[in-house]
Amino acid sequence: MTDISNIEARVKKIIIEQLGVKEEQVTNEASFVEDLGADSLDTVELVMALEEEFELEIPDEDAEKITTVQQAIDYISSHNG
């Protein structure tokens, strides 16, 4: 069992860095595009950064479904380790 809270913290840290947003904006429900102001290039970069951090490959069809902070955490949690 992977440490969910640790994954959550790492995912949020990457989102803050990649999107240049404030920590308090990155709630679990936040949508990258609608709430955090990401454009399509930002979301691709974000997915690439997550792939790098967690050493996994996220296929395009999965990446399309990761649109919120919580979805990213859930995806990483279920595919990590």
Partner 1 sequence: MTTLDGEIVLVTGASRGIGQAVARELGRRGAAVIGTATTQAGAEAIDRDLRDLDIRGRGLRLDVTDPAAVDAALKAVTQEFGAPTILVNNAGITRDNLLLRMKEEEWASVLDTDLTSVYRLSKAVLRGMMKAQRGRIISITSVVGATGSAGQANYAAAKAGIIGFTKSLAREVGSRNITVNAVAPGLIDTDMTRALPEAQRLALVESIPLQRPGEPQDVANVVAFLASADADYVTGATLHVNGGMFMA
Q: List the interface residues with partner 1, window 39-78 (CB under 8 A).
A: 39, 41, 45, 48
Alpha carbon distances (Å) from 29 to 1, 22, 24, 59, 74 = 24, 15, 12, 23, 12
Residue 1 found at the interface with partner 1 (CB under 8 A): no
**Which one of the listed residues 3, 35, 39, 42 is annotated catalytic?**
39
Q: List the interface residues with partner 1, window 13-42 (CB under 8 A).
A: 39, 41
39 is catalytic: yes
- Report the Cα 11 to chain-centroid distance in Å: 5
What residues are annotated to the active site? 39
